[in-house]
Chain A
Amino acid sequence: MPDSAWEVRDLVDALEPDPWRDSNPFSSDIEDCHRVLFDPARSVQAKADALNEWLAEFQPCLFGQMEAKQGRIAYCVLTESDFERGDNAIRLKIELERQDWKHRALSGDSHGFLIVAVSNRIARARPGEPLLRLAMRLCELYLGRTEPDKIHLDDLVLKIHLDEKSEFRTWRVGANYFSSQGDGRWWRDHRIPGGITFSMNSVGHMARTQVERAIRRNPGASLRAPNLSHEKLVYWALPKAMKTIGPPSVGSTRGTWLVERGKFPEDRVPPTFEQRSNYFGDLAQFSENRYTGLYHTDETIPTVYFDEGLWRREDIRERDDLYFTYLHQRTDQDYSSMALGEAFDVEHEGVLKEDGSQR
């Protein structure tokens, strides 16, 4: 067993090079980012900036991509020096950066947080048991628990300014594992440069922040504030989430995909195809209730990523217990008619365009 005081260091040392990578080199976008991440002379900030640039362009999750473009992601970059300082030092560094993220989030400046263990050795490691143990240990140093295939959560608070006082609202935020091993593999949509990353991103916090900002610009809108966040999710977040998952395509290496509407019991009508087309565009033919995938998107560390026997997508069992309904379930009646209030168009409110730029 590794020495618990330097368990991360020992687990990194125990990693073996990935022979598969020799014949399957990293994508050029990953390699470009690695040139900065593995440059010993670059500061942690320079590495975070390089990662942010990569996320803004190549992150499959559109929420994350938008946040990166807006410079709203907070980073905790762990270096090889951190590994050598020991687990207590790593735990403290994560906590300090976590606190800083939460302070930024309190005023709505950030909704996402990335803990990145940057190391060429980690990035090039074989995705087996040693790498899984390293991921579990980093998860434990952050969230106090190690179990894989579970939904590990942090929380995030937003301060909401009312006329004469303030209120606070807190959201549970899921943590998700990404790593360089995903590049070129069947779970490509969880690839990231640099090594291992835990990504935390609260769509609810982001949506509510934008609603509150819109209300400040247009005080009349506050009359419908209780519904605004919900509208925002239905009309903005849901299509974004569907676009992130994406339609199935032949030869794709993505781990999740949309399914033709009608396959699931939840796929009832209304909304009609025409209504859905208004909001989902080309994706209207797909279910807005469930999707299919090779892993559970909420589980923090899916062990299937580390199963060396699972090299081919064909060998992995598909699952369809992946739901979008959290984005619209609270008022399904309203959603069904898509008629409640006025669509809260973020582009018209000047908050965010799809490409992440501001009007």
Chain B
Amino acid sequence: MTTLEKRVSVVLEKGKVSPDALWQALIELFRRDREAFYLLACDGVSRAAHTNIRKLADLARQVRNAIRRTYQVTSTENGAAVELASGESIPVPQNARAEVAQFLLEIDGKSLGTVAGKDYEGSAASEAEVRFKLADASQWAAQREQLRKDRVTEPFVLRVDQSDIENLRFQPAYVTHGLLNCARKTVLGPTQVFMGLQRGEGSCEDVQDGWAFCGLPKQAFGNDGLGRPGPAGMVYVVFADKDGFVFDWDWVEENPGEPGCPIDRDLRFGNPIEWKRDAVLDLPTDLRPGLFDASRACYSERGDCIFCYISDEVAFAARINPDLTVFRKLGSDTITGFKVKNLGRILREDKSIILEDGRELTVSVRGALLATLKGHRKTEVKVYEIIIESWRTRVEAPTVRVPRRGLGKAVFQPS
């Protein structure tokens, strides 16, 4: 038996020690012989040591890991547990929970002062105590370098193009509230980030190389701007072009087998990336919702897409095909609007939907919508029928004005 094992054995009973008694023994060891506790946690004991001593050494090692990697003392079905951030769990008898919690703080150097005044004198500490509390300097060097890199990394700042901000003047108020709240929160704390958006062949390169930030904001926002619990089974997705200009943001159905990730991710996005960097959505401080106008549709140059809303019911986005997404009222199938994607490619393929060809193009939204049926023969016609029916009572079919410059940069050559 080594000297340390002898010191440790003092606090252990000779018979089999129950798991519950191990905590008591460890705390007792700390109270009686701190040096032995620290050595046990840092260095462990030999394989030849008595089973009880090895069990105690194992608990001491786990405790050291908990201190270094952070932990929480939580309640469980059978009592309590020290849960490490890394996912490990150390059982704690319920009646010892408070004592264990206090012990863990104490060995971590955290305490409550009982007398006023600063500690000027300090007190002697052993090398083992310092080793217990701090990683070896050579081991810490790699962690320090990682911390340094994290500190100097500039955040990824996403913005919204001024033309898309102006489009909000006619869109439902919940769209602006969603941008100010849900989109902002999603970017700050994404559950998944994808690099690349799958828009099909011939789509705008800036969009193809764009970003999708997915998240689970706690609240959804209606047209009144008031927060309410986020919809179950939904994830929020913020779409940005390759330069970080956000052009779309929606609730989307969540993949039940992949929390925090939308359904059909392989159809929608490029590669998921491990996102450690801070990201921020920088929005104008004076951004306010406008007045919804169902007769107006709008074109996003950054997203190369048309947005058209039939009603201002709070909705989620449902992908129909690479060229069409519809908005459905939350909790129902009712279509409230749609998004025609890849307008540049659509116009290149069918110029008949261009109503006026001047400095800007005036494009028929109905024509663009119908064009999304081409090449996607499995798409249900019913969706189109519903949208067109909703326009039946309108005096004028909606149009959008499309600047040439964006289309020229993508795929469209002016006629």
Given A103-B137, A103-B144, A150-B112, is A233 in contact with B130 using a C-beta cutoff of 8 Å?
A: no
Determine if A208 is an interface residue (Cβ-Cβ < 8 Å). Answer: yes
For B105, what are the chain A residues with a Cβ–Cβ distance below 8 Å?
Answer: 143-145
Q: Is A174 within 8 A of B113, CB to CB?
A: yes
For A152, what are the chain B residues with a Cβ–Cβ distance below 8 Å?
Answer: 110-113
Of chain B, the residue at the smallest CB distance from A232 is: B120
Determine if A167 is an interface residue (Cβ-Cβ < 8 Å). Answer: yes
Q: Is B155 within 8 A of A81, CB to CB?
A: yes
Q: Is A106 within 8 A of B144, CB to CB?
A: no
- A 33-45 binary contact with B (CB < 8 Å = 1; else 0): 0000000111111
| B285 CB → nearest A CB, Å | 10
Given A100-B144, A143-B110, is A84 in contact with B118 using a C-beta cutoff of 8 Å?
A: no
Given A157-B134, A204-B122, is A103 in contact with B113 using a C-beta cutoff of 8 Å?
A: no
Determine if B121 is an interface residue (Cβ-Cβ < 8 Å). Answer: yes
Q: Is B119 within 8 A of A204, CB to CB?
A: yes
Given A81-B280, A144-B105, A169-B122, is A325 in contact with B188 using a C-beta cutoff of 8 Å?
A: no
- Choose among A99, A168, A173, A296 the residue with the greatest number of B CB atoms under 10 Å from its CB: A168
What CA separation (Å) do A325 and B105 show in the bound complex? Answer: 28
Q: Which of chain A's residues 82-137 have a Cβ closer than 8 Å to chain B?
A: 83-86, 88, 91-92, 95-97, 99-100, 102-103, 106
Q: Which of chain A's residues 205-252 have a Cβ closer than 8 Å to chain B?
A: 205, 207-208, 229, 233, 237
Q: Is A170 within 8 A of B122, CB to CB?
A: yes
Q: Is A42 within 8 A of B118, CB to CB?
A: no
What CA separation (Å) do A167 and B101 show in the bound complex? Answer: 30
Q: Is A40 within 8 A of B157, CB to CB?
A: yes
Of chain A, the residue at the smallest CB distance from B283 is: A40
Determine if B395 is an interface residue (Cβ-Cβ < 8 Å). Answer: no
For B189, what are the chain A residues with a Cβ–Cβ distance below 8 Å?
Answer: 9, 81, 83-86
Partner of A96, one of B125, B126, B143, B154: B143
| B191 CB → nearest A CB, Å | 10
Determine if A317 is an interface residue (Cβ-Cβ < 8 Å). Answer: no
Q: Is B127 within 8 A of A327, CB to CB?
A: no
| One of B48-56, B145-153, B169-177 contacting the partner | B145-153
Determine if A80 is an interface residue (Cβ-Cβ < 8 Å). Answer: yes
Q: Which of chain A's residues 167-216 have a Cβ closer than 8 Å to chain B?
A: 167-174, 202-205, 207-208
For B386, what are the chain A residues with a Cβ–Cβ distance below 8 Å?
Answer: none
Of chain B, the residue at the smallest CB distance from A4 is: B72
Determine if B129 is an interface residue (Cβ-Cβ < 8 Å). Answer: yes
Q: Which of chain B's residues 136-189 have a Cβ closer than 8 Å to chain A?
A: 137, 140, 143-144, 147, 150-155, 157, 185, 188-189
What CA separation (Å) do A150 and B119 show in the bound complex? Answer: 16
Of chain B, the residue at the smallest CB distance from A81 is: B278
Q: Is B147 within 8 A of A106, CB to CB?
A: no
For B70, what are the chain A residues with a Cβ–Cβ distance below 8 Å?
Answer: 88, 91-92, 95
Given A41-B157, A323-B116, A326-B118, is A170 in contact with B110 using a C-beta cutoff of 8 Å?
A: no
For A229, what are the chain B residues with a Cβ–Cβ distance below 8 Å?
Answer: 120-121
What CA separation (Å) do A29 and B303 show in the bound complex? Answer: 41
Number of A-B contacts (CB under 8 A): 184
Q: Is A42 within 8 A of B154, CB to CB?
A: yes
Determine if B68 is an interface residue (Cβ-Cβ < 8 Å). Answer: yes
What CA separation (Å) do A140 and B226 show in the bound complex? Answer: 31
What CA separation (Å) do A330 and B119 show in the bound complex? Answer: 11
Q: Is B134 within 8 A of A103, CB to CB?
A: yes
Given A97-B147, A325-B117, A326-B120, is A102 in contact with B133 using a C-beta cutoff of 8 Å?
A: yes
Q: Is B143 within 8 A of A84, CB to CB?
A: no
Of chain B, the residue at the smallest CB distance from A173 is: B119
Determine if A349 is an interface residue (Cβ-Cβ < 8 Å). Answer: no
For A170, what are the chain B residues with a Cβ–Cβ distance below 8 Å?
Answer: 109, 122-125, 129
Q: What's the dominant secondary structure at chain B's contact region?
A: mixed
Q: Is B155 within 8 A of A43, CB to CB?
A: yes
Q: Is B112 within 8 A of A44, CB to CB?
A: no
Of chain B, the residue at the smallest CB distance from A102 is: B134
Given A79-B278, A151-B113, is A157 in contact with B188 using a C-beta cutoff of 8 Å?
A: no
For A166, what are the chain B residues with a Cβ–Cβ distance below 8 Å?
Answer: 127
Of chain A, the residue at the smallest CB distance from B105 is: A144
Partner of B112, one of A99, A102, A151: A151
Q: Is A43 within 8 A of B120, CB to CB?
A: no
| A187 CB → nearest B CB, Å | 18
Partner of A204, one of B112, B121, B135, B185: B121
| B183 CB → nearest A CB, Å | 12
Partner of A168, one of B68, B101, B129, B143: B129
Determine if A332 is an interface residue (Cβ-Cβ < 8 Å). Answer: no
For B155, what are the chain A residues with a Cβ–Cβ distance below 8 Å?
Answer: 40-43, 79, 81
Of chain B, the residue at the smallest CB distance from A297 is: B116
Of chain B, the residue at the smallest CB distance from A84 is: B189
What CA separation (Å) do A103 and B150 show in the bound complex? Answer: 18
Given A81-B155, A153-B111, A154-B110, is A233 in contact with B120 using a C-beta cutoff of 8 Å?
A: yes
Determine if A298 is an interface residue (Cβ-Cβ < 8 Å). Answer: yes
Q: Is A154 within 8 A of B188, CB to CB?
A: no
What CA separation (Å) do A143 and B341 show in the bound complex? Answer: 51
Q: Is A172 within 8 A of B119, CB to CB?
A: yes
- Choose among A13, A143, A144, A150 the residue with the greatest number of B CB atoms under 10 Å from its CB: A144
Partner of B125, one of A84, A144, A169, A327: A169
Q: Is A99 within 8 A of B140, CB to CB?
A: yes
Given A42-B154, A88-B85, A96-B143, is A153 in contact with B110 using a C-beta cutoff of 8 Å?
A: yes
For B150, what are the chain A residues with a Cβ–Cβ distance below 8 Å?
Answer: 44
Of chain A, the residue at the smallest CB distance from B144 is: A100
Q: Is B123 within 8 A of A169, CB to CB?
A: yes
Determine if A10 is an interface residue (Cβ-Cβ < 8 Å). Answer: yes
| A350 CB → nearest B CB, Å | 23
Of chain B, the residue at the smallest CB distance from A48 is: B151
For B124, what are the chain A residues with a Cβ–Cβ distance below 8 Å?
Answer: 167-170
Q: Is B117 within 8 A of A298, CB to CB?
A: yes
For A207, what are the chain B residues with a Cβ–Cβ distance below 8 Å?
Answer: 120
For B154, what are the chain A residues with a Cβ–Cβ distance below 8 Å?
Answer: 41-43, 46
14 of the cross-chain contacts (CB-CB < 8 Å) are A3-B218, A44-B152, A81-B188, A84-B185, A84-B188, A88-B72, A91-B85, A99-B143, A103-B135, A153-B111, A153-B112, A155-B110, A229-B120, A298-B117
* Interface residue ranges, B against A (CB under 8 Å): 68-70, 72, 85, 101, 104-105, 108-114, 116-127, 129-130, 133-135, 137, 140, 143-144, 147, 150-155, 157, 185, 188-189, 215, 218, 278-280, 282
The 3 A-B residue pairs with the shortest CB-CB distance in the complex, in nearest-first order: A84-B189, A151-B113, A326-B117
Can you add 15 more A-B contacts, CB < 8 Å, to A44-B152, A153-B111? A44-B153, A85-B189, A95-B68, A100-B144, A143-B110, A144-B104, A153-B112, A153-B113, A157-B130, A167-B124, A168-B126, A169-B123, A171-B120, A205-B122, A298-B117
